[in-house]
Chain A
Amino acid sequence: MSFMELIKRAKETEDFSILSQNIPYMKSLGIEVHQYGGLLITTLKADPKLTGNPWIPALHGGNIGGLLEMAAIVQLAHDQESDDLPRTINITVEYLRTGFIKDLHAKALVTKRGRRVANVQVQCWQDDPDKPVASMHGHFLMS
């Protein structure tokens, strides 16, 4: 099943576990999507193998970036009716705090959706949503 078909199915059944089961990257890293009211939260589950810095230990920055990008794409795909898969043009990740080996939650906000390009901002946090671990903004090609 293509990504857009998976999203469509997830929206119909309101069960997003179908994404984690079918997208290899999400399954391997342990990324899950849950819906709370109208809000989509994408979560990277705590796992020692995701450690980048063994001394702290802290999550690898690339895994934080990967989660943020995933959260943006899931949100864009969820919000649209068309079957075109949003494709990443660029992302800028700002690292604000150490990401510990704990669940990391991300919430995306579509700042502007144009006909061809969308701008998305994403923040992620661990215990306290007011203490973000990293934030991202990115552009995505919509058609």
Chain B
Amino acid sequence: MTNKALMERIVRFRTKPENQSPFGLYLGLEIIDIDQGEATLAVPYAKHLAGNSLTGVLHGGIITTSLDSACGLSVIAALGEPTTIATLDLRIDYLKPAIPEETVFAYGHCYKVTKNVCFVRGLAYQKDKAKPIANATATFMITAKGTGRQVQKNAQPLPGEGESTQ
């Protein structure tokens, strides 16, 4: 599912030069899907980001970065308006190594929004979302004062709330 209007709004905001994340540009992070409370990013394979030059497997840090970005973006997608957030914590379980030369997708689902804190689940996968390479759990703090209370009122119930996303 894609929420086209929300996706356009977020993409338009994020592609303004003053709002672009330099490291996102460096990695070539691309927003490929936005829905209410959900976000998917693509990270193209890059040989120079491998953790091991013999195997060419991407370093775990790149998986961490893409999951942090996707989870953060899903919070923005849940709040429905640009605000500033900060990662409180991020846990990543590495399920299997990433296959070299293949694009990595990072998916985040913000399943709960409160006044100050947002709760997120995430997945990193390559060709098959049913066979993830990593699983993530994250919490984010809404740092813009008062924004949380304001958007919490506006926040709509998430589609698929209570259902498993994995």
Residues of A within 8 A of B (CB): 1-3, 22-25, 27-29, 48-55, 57, 60-63, 65-67, 69-70, 87-95, 98
Contact = CB atoms under 8 A, between A and B. Distances in A.
B117 interface: no
A61 B51 CA distance: 18
Contact of B18 (A23, A54, A93): A54
Contacts of B53: 22-24
Contact of A62 (B19, B54, B65): B65
Interface string B44-85: 000111111110001111101111110010000000000010
Interface stretch (B89-97, B108-116, B156-164): B89-97
A89 B93 contact: yes
Interface of B: 18-24, 26, 47-54, 58-62, 64-69, 72, 84, 86-94
A95 B86 contact: yes
Contact of B90 (A25, A27, A48, A65): A65
A95 B50 CA distance: 25
A-B pairs, 4 with minimum CB distance: A66-B61, A62-B65, A25-B59, A65-B64
A90 B91 contact: yes
